Amino acid sequence: MEKSVKYSNPSQEFIIEFPQSPLLKTEKETNQFGHISWNIAYLNKNNNNEFYFLIKYADLPADFITSNSLPLLDSFFLNTQQDLTEKKIPFNLRITNNKKYPGREFHFLDSNNNISYTRDVFLVNNRLYFLEVKCNINNDYRNEIDAFLKSFSLTAVTENSNPEIIEKQQTKKFTIKFPAKTTTTTQTSFNPFFGNLTITKESCETDFGLYCINFSELPKDKLQKITSAELQKFITEAFTSNVLNTNGKIISKKQIEIDGHSAFEGIGSIQDGEALIHLKSVIIDNYYYQYFVIYAMDGENNPATKDFLNSFRIN
The verdict on 133 and 210 lying in the same domain is no
Give me the pLDDT at residue 48, please.
61
Give me the pLDDT at residue 167, please.
60
DSSP type of residue 45 = T
The verdict on 18 and 127 lying in the same domain is yes
Structure confidence by residue, pLDDT tens digits, 193-238: 888 788 999 999 998 899 999 999 999 999 999 998 999 889 998 8
The verdict on 123 and 183 lying in the same domain is no
- Mean pLDDT of all residues belonging to the chain: 89
The verdict on 31 and 88 lying in the same domain is yes
The verdict on 147 and 204 lying in the same domain is no
The verdict on 117 and 247 lying in the same domain is no
Give me the pLDDT at residue 1, please.
47
The verdict on 107 and 188 lying in the same domain is no
173-199: average pLDDT: 88
d(CA 98, CA 26): 24
The CATH number given to whatever domain includes residue 253 is 3.40.1000
The verdict on 113 and 202 lying in the same domain is no
Greater model confidence, 259 or 140: 259
CB 183 within 8 A of CB 213: no
- Residue 124 maps to a domain: yes
Check whether 139 has a pLDDT greater than 80.
no
- Residue 230 maps to a domain: yes
- Residue 307 maps to a domain: yes
- Residue 108 maps to a domain: yes
Using a pLDDT cut of 70, give the percent of the chain over it. Answer: 95
Read off the pLDDT band of 141 (50, 70, 90).
confident
Instruction: Tell me which residue of 161, 82, 165 sits closest to 121, measured CA to CA.
Output: 82
- Residue 221 maps to a domain: yes
Structure confidence by residue, pLDDT tens digits, 23-75: 999 999 987 777 899 999 999 987 665 789 999 999 999 888 999 988 889 88
242-250: average pLDDT: 83
Structural domain boundaries, residue 226: 174-314
The CATH number given to whatever domain includes residue 47 is 3.40.1000.10
Determine phi and psi for 144, rounding to 5 degrees. Answer: -70, -35
Query: Domain count of the chain?
Result: 2
254-258: average pLDDT: 93
The verdict on 82 and 201 lying in the same domain is no
The verdict on 115 and 197 lying in the same domain is no
Check whether 118 has a pLDDT greater than 80.
yes
d(CA 290, CA 293): 11
- Residue 166 maps to a domain: no
Provide CB contacts within 8 A for 268, sequence distance 6+. Answer: 239, 242, 243, 248, 249, 250, 251, 252, 253, 276, 277
- Residue 161 maps to a domain: no
The verdict on 100 and 178 lying in the same domain is no
